[in-house]
Amino acid sequence: MKRTAIPVLTGLGDPESLRWHDGELWFSDMAHGTVHRWSPQDGQRTVVKVPGRAGGLGWLPDGRLLVVSMDEHRIYRLEPEGELAVHADLGAIAGGPANDMLVDAAGRAYVGNFGFDYHAFVRQHPNSQLYAPPGPPRTPIACFAPDGTLLGVSEPLLFPNGAVITADGTFVVAESLGLRLTAFDIDERGLLVRPRPWAQLVSPVLWRLVNHPGLPGRITRWVSALLDRPAIAKRSGSPIAPDGIALAADGRTIWVANALRGECVRVAEGGSILERIR
């Protein structure tokens, strides 16, 4: 069965960090710093405005909302009375804007960040250099306890973004600039350990060429620069830069929003593309 994308909301600035929670779709509008909820019955409602651009969302076990402030490098907690309280601070960790977040069933928050000043980088380099060596700096995922204290950080990653926990308890995160999904185990303290590839979202041949230090690499990166043009990129099936991700209904495969073109793909471990919605 072929699936077709159907718009349900319009007029938003930069909707991100979509979550289903208690039968409603929740999301952040990064452009306006707001958090929204939507259902077919009640439509769209604004929940809260967050200082410093709203990012990733999650919930504590008692139902309180956690939301990332991208520019303030903080996690805010929405209290029952409606006020925002600082839950955790990423200032000592984030090398760029704070980004997406996963909150697990125990209330631990896993938060990524850009790792660098994205806009300054693209002003000084072609977009293709985001994906080619030496590329921008790597940065870790921070893990916070349910009370907001820092538990530790992961190995550095290339722009950690959306994340899921699979049915077998594996933590999988999108490395947007690594063009891959990376898996971790979660140890007894809640820390992310034993990083390993889960799915490479660009062909191995192309990946080797892009990273080649000699003439083949320079030619491939020049062609990649051409693919920055939307008219060309729309006609290309590869690569996939994973942005937001969501666990599929089977608990094993993952839906991936492709930041390079308007599509979502369902990916199996190892990188096989099972479905594509454009």
Q: Compute the average pLDDT of residues 191-208.
A: 85
Report the pLDDT value the prediction gives residue 204, as an integer from 0 to 100. 60
| Torsional sign, CA 265, 268, 271, 273 | negative
Q: Is 201 left (phi over 0), alpha (psi -120 to 50) or beta?
A: alpha
Read off the pLDDT of residues 43-64 as tens digits, 9 standing for 90 and up.
999 999 999 999 999 999 999 9
- Compute the chain's Rg from CA coordinates: 19
Using 50, 70 and 90 to split pLDDT, how confident is the model at 234? Answer: very low
Edge-to-edge order in the sheet of strand 180-186: 160-165, 171-175, 180-186, 192-200
Q: Which two tokens stand for residue 207?
A: 């990946």
Query: Does 240 score more than 80 pLDDT?
Result: yes
Q: Which residues pair with 264 in a beta bridge?
A: 257, 277
The answer, yes or no, to whether residue 174 has pLDDT greater than 80, is: yes
Statement: residue 20 has pLDDT above 70? yes
122: alpha, beta or left? (left if phi > 0; alpha if psi -120 to 50) = alpha
SS3 78: strand
Question: Does residue 226 have a pLDDT over 50?
Answer: yes
Binning pLDDT at 50, 70 and 90, where does residue 208 land? low
- Give the pLDDT confidence score for residue 158 in this predicted structure: 96
Mean pLDDT of the chain: 90
pTM of the model: 0.89
For the CA atoms of 185, 141, 180, 245, the dihedral, rounded to the nearest 10 degrees, stands at 90
User: Is the distance from CB of 242 to CB of 174 less than 8 angstroms?
Assistant: yes
**pLDDT of 205:** 64
Average pLDDT (237-260) is 91
d(CA 153, CA 225): 33
Residue 126 predicted with pLDDT over 80: no
**Is the predicted pLDDT of residue 69 greater than 50, yes or no?**
yes
Residue 232 has pLDDT above 60, yes or no: no
What does the DSSP 8-state code read for residue 139? B
pLDDT at residue number 143: 99
Contacts of 144 (CB under 8 A, 6+ apart): 75, 87, 88, 108, 109, 110, 111, 150, 151
- Per the structure block, which two tokens stand in for 268? 């199996």
For 142-158, how does the pLDDT look when each residue is reduced to its tens digit (9 = 90+)? 999 999 999 999 999 99
The model's confidence at residue 236, banded by pLDDT at 50, 70 and 90, is very low
Q: Which CATH class is domain 9-153?
A: mainly beta
Beta partners for 165?
A: 171
Average pLDDT (163-181) is 96
